[in-house]
Amino acid sequence: MRNDDMTITPLSDVLGAEITGVTITAGMADALFAAIEEALHRHLVVIIRGQDLAPSDFIALAERFGRPEPHVIDQFHHPADPNILILSNRKDEAGRPMGLADGGSYFHTDYSYLAVPARCTLLYGIELPDDNAGTTFADQRAAYAALDDATKERIAPLVCRHHYGNRDNLDLGSRTVASPLTADQQAKMDWERHPLVRTHPHTGRKSLYAVSGSSFGIDGMADDEALALLDELKEHSTGSRFCHQPTYKKGDVVIWDNCSLLHCAPLVDPAVPRTLWRITVKESGPTL
């Protein structure tokens, strides 16, 4: 990887930065990876523009952050490597989907339904419309910091119960439901627990964690009270002052921090082809 001309430019006042002037290859200098990792921790989303990656290059980049884990939806794993999930609205000649369409089009964070959640997710743009609107990200670090002291004190000891799904939409025919699983895939899903307030394993900074999406309850709290609190926190933490929706193009690599963000994929026009590769990298251990 060459990094002589690397430039890191913030994308908004809220979050996100673009990185230009680097060419990713399978052999990456430690200094360049450190610069990308530092930018990720600072800006929470980084977009490395204009890359030309084989599946093995993309995997090599992801593995610098940790251990990738294949998505439970195994019918859309890339034939070259199951760690790559194909996101696409394209269909083959028989009308069968060629990738996962409409995945995660509600605020959530990746793998929060697993005991060891995701450190970061990487997307690589294969085919995107010129006016592509990307994922909307919500900064849960800033949302936590903006809470009043009484709320911070109230939520500090709370532990949430998580399961695969979108608690706000369980209608399997909807485009904003969590992508439906087969019976075999559902059987792999269990209830997991995570703190409502996470301390980032690399930066030590606190954030609200997964208050939307997979959180269905709070230990020791009646469900109606728990859901009211989670809904209140979701309303607060996905407000426009904490959000940014970057655009990305074919060849861009997008990396985001799942501990510190919620994100919501765009609902795109089914008639406009859109294909990305995705790798999700795990944290090093459970959150409790």
List residues near Fe ion by CB under 5 A.
Answer: 104, 110
Which residue number, 280 or 287, has a Cβ lying nearer to Fe ion? 280
Q: Smallest gap, in angstroms, from Cβ of residue 26 to Fe ion?
A: 26
Which residue number, 28 or 265, has a Cβ lying nearer to Fe ion? 265
Nearest of 211, 138, 221, 220 to residue 168 by alpha carbon: 211
Structure tokens belonging to residue 81? 């490597």
For 186, the enclosing helix (H) or strand (E) is helix 183-187
Q: Which residue is nearest to Fe ion (CB)?
A: 104
CB 237 within 8 A of CB 138: yes
Which residue number, 51 or 136, has a Cβ lying nearer to Fe ion? 136
Nearest of 170, 158, 163, 287 to residue 226 by alpha carbon: 158
Which residue number, 99 or 104, has a Cβ lying nearer to Fe ion? 104
Q: Tally the residues of the chain.
A: 288
Q: Smallest gap, in angstroms, from Cβ of residue 66 to Fe ion?
A: 17
Q: Smallest gap, in angstroms, from Cβ of residue 263 to Fe ion?
A: 6
CB 261 within 8 A of CB 110: no
Which residue number, 28 or 192, has a Cβ lying nearer to Fe ion? 192
Structure tokens belonging to residue 217? 């309850």
CB 188 within 8 A of CB 85: no
Q: Smallest gap, in angstroms, from Cβ of residue 222 to Fe ion?
A: 29
Q: Smallest gap, in angstroms, from Cβ of residue 104 to Fe ion?
A: 4
